[in-house]
Amino acid sequence: MARTTKINPATATVSTETGSGKALPIIVILASLLFVALAVAGYFYYQYRQSPKVQSAEEIKNLKEEIGAIFELPTDEEPTLATVTDREKLAEQPFFQKAENGDKVLIYSNSGRAVLYRPSAKKIIDVTTVNVTKPEPEVPVETPSVAPSPEVSEQSSVPAIIRVALYNGSIEVGVTNSIESVLRAAVPNAAVVTKETAVKNDYQKTLVIDVSGANGAAALSVASAVGGEVGGLPAGEKAPADADVLVIVGNDR
């Protein structure tokens, strides 16, 4: 059956007539096409709005996998991700003194832990404890008439996270990897931040050095785990800048 197009001069409405005798105004067709176009545009706009959320979740997942391969992360919560974009504004804070633009920070609020990580070097720069607490309402208390004796607060002699540097001072290649496995199993709060080759490879015994002199208890804990002896930094060796404890693996391993 032939298709004809008619124009009604009175209404100037264009319609299409088929052999069945039914007319479908073109305005209905245009409205339908417009609805479909808006629906498609709305879908892509929604995907655009959702894209940053998906990317952020994917980035957190990748960072957790990278960091988790060298350091034990909390598994009972999802971290918050932050990126260092202007290190100059953060330089006064000890945690960010060695930070660079582009570094990532995973913040675990419930566990009270933050990890500063450099993806370009795949290296942990620093680890610290954080306090994220809700303010509690003040409760009025009666002031005693006699001044109380001063309280002495004691700080733990072992840091929450022990940053450990491993130097290979033996003739065995890759021995620092096995030492790292032993250390992570025995000291859960130890984080290996760097692995290097010592100046000499003829160390007979494994040495453990308190880098700053303020982490004696941590050095003892590490020495007990790796079977080393606590001592001073040998002549010619350079102390790591980003570690609390240095382990020089000897030929006794």
Residue type, 115: V
My answer on whether 193 and 104 are in the same domain is no
Q: Which residue, 132, 152, 174, sits at the end of a domain?
A: 132
In this structure, is residue 15 part of a structural domain? Answer: no
pLDDT, one tens digit per residue, over 19-37 is 444 445 666 565 665 555 5
Q: Are residues 32 and 70 in the same domain?
A: yes
Which of 132, 154, 176 represents a domain boundary (last residue)? 132
70 shares its domain with 112: yes
Residue 123 lies in a domain: yes
Same-domain check for residues 28 and 126: yes
What pLDDT sits at residue 150? 38
Q: Global pTM?
A: 0.46
Q: What separation in angstroms does the CA of 19 have from each of 3, 13, 22? A: 7, 19, 8
In a domain, 76, yes or no: yes
Q: Is position 189 within any domain?
A: yes
Contacts 24+ apart (CB under 8 A), 131-138: none
**Residues 96 and 194 reside in one and the same domain:** no
SS3 229: strand
Q: Is residue 14 part of a domain?
A: no
Q: Domain total for the chain? A: 2
Asked whether residue 12 is assigned to any structural domain, the reply reads no
| 86 and 43 housed in the same domain | yes
**125 with 166, same domain?**
no
One-character DSSP codes across 120-173 = TTTEEEEEEE----PPPPP---PPPSSPPPPP-----SS-SSEEEEEEE-SSST
Handedness of CA 91, 97, 98, 104 (dihedral sign): negative
Looking at the structure, tell me whether residues 116 and 39 fall in a common domain.
Answer: yes
Read off the CATH number of the domain in which 232 is found.
3.30.70
pLDDT of residue 27: 61
Identify the segments of the chain with pLDDT beneath 70: 1-55, 130-159
Long-range contacts: 9-13, Cβ < 8 Å, 24+? none
User: What number of other Cβ atoms are within 10 A of residue 119's Cβ?
Assistant: 14
Which pLDDT does position 136 carry in this prediction? Answer: 46
Flag whether 157 is in a domain: no
What is the extent of the structural domain holding 111? Answer: 24-132
43 belongs to a structural domain: yes
- Residue 191: closest CA among 230, 242, 155, 233: 242
> Quick one: pLDDT at residue 93?
72
- Torsion, Cα of 105, 154, 72, 228 (10° steps): 120
